[in-house]
Amino acid sequence: MTTAMKKIDEEALAQAYDRALALEKSGDLDAAARAYAEVLALDPDDHGGAAVRLASMGRGETPEKAPDAYVTTLFDQHAEVFEDVLVEQLGYAVPVLVRQRLQTLGLGPFKRMLDLGCGTGLTGGTLRDMVEDLTGIDLSENMVEIAHEKDLYETLYVAEAVDFLDDNDEEPFDLITATDVLPYLGALEPLFFGAADNLVPGGLFIFSSETLSADTFAGRGFMVGPHQRFAHAEDYVRNRLDATGFDLVEIADITVRMEDGEPTPGHLVVARRRGDA
């Protein structure tokens, strides 16, 4: 009985989501918004990311972050083809840019590194020879399994980034990376405070973000962009870093990836945790 009911619910959810997506693609955004509301009623955990789609269409409030269930589902589904799609098809090279900046700035080697949103290990693999002890975390169990098979990390966890930073009581790190994490977070204070709490004084926090034009932000610090990922204004990133105990080492304009043949603009940020007074 329960299985049958679950199957019916899943079928109803799939039909509702397909209907909402079709309406969105047709340009009938008001009808699409009503359809996505039906999706959320069927699936309050929001495995399909209806909340970020609503925000992307300008038909719903911007959430503080992408739903965990959505991020987990998205990356679990794409784990096997993740690297091919992201690197080969979308031209994603942020981990290489991180390595280049560390070398250019003369930073490293490092004793302990935490790779937030480690995925299949792209950043960990790129920096492995610069680090003694490497810890990776990701929400997607399938991603973590692939990273584990590469034998890059001393320790791997399946966890949400901010939750891990809040709960972690191991010795602090001297390097924390977060490549392709901010596009799934809106408000940055929880992440930045958590990173500061898990770094040694003077430790480095390096991350990438996506951005949009100042006209598009219209005074907002962050918003959901046209591809259902969060974009952050440079001033907002700078202000939140300062407020959470970081000094900015540098912020560089980068192309994060290609999307529909167009470059996705973003920032590569190197920040240093202020020393204890």
**pLDDT above 60 (res 6):** no
Question: Does residue 254 share a domain with residue 122?
Answer: yes
For the residues 56-83, what does the mean pLDDT come to? Answer: 90
- Is 87 among the domain residues? yes
Q: What are the tokens at 194? A: 């958590």
SS3 (DSSP) at 238:
helix
For the residues 24-36, what does the mean pLDDT come to? Answer: 92
- Is 239 among the domain residues? yes
Tens-place pLDDT, residues 169-191: 999 999 999 999 999 999 999 99
Residue 11 domain boundaries: 2-65
Cα gap 207→191, rounded to integer Å: 11
Question: Does residue 105 share a domain with residue 170?
Answer: yes
For the range 235-238, what are the long-range contacts, defined as Cβ-Cβ under 8 Å and sequence gap of 24 or more?
Answer: 236/188, 237/188, 237/209, 237/267, 237/269
pLDDT at site 276: 60
Cα gap 115→135, rounded to integer Å: 6
Q: What are the tokens at 28? A: 């009938």
Question: Does residue 111 share a domain with residue 48?
Answer: no
Q: Which CATH number do you get for residue 209?
A: 3.40.50.150
SS3 (DSSP) at 221:
coil
Question: Does residue 55 share a domain with residue 90?
Answer: no
**Secondary structure (DSSP) of 80-141:** GGHHIIIIIIT---HHHHHHHHHHHTT---EEEEEEET-TTTHHHHHHGGGEEEEEEEES-H
Tens-place pLDDT, residues 94-118: 999 999 999 999 999 999 999 999 9
Q: How confident is the model at residue 87 (pLDDT cuts 50, 70, 90)?
A: confident
End-to-end alpha carbon distance in the chain: 62
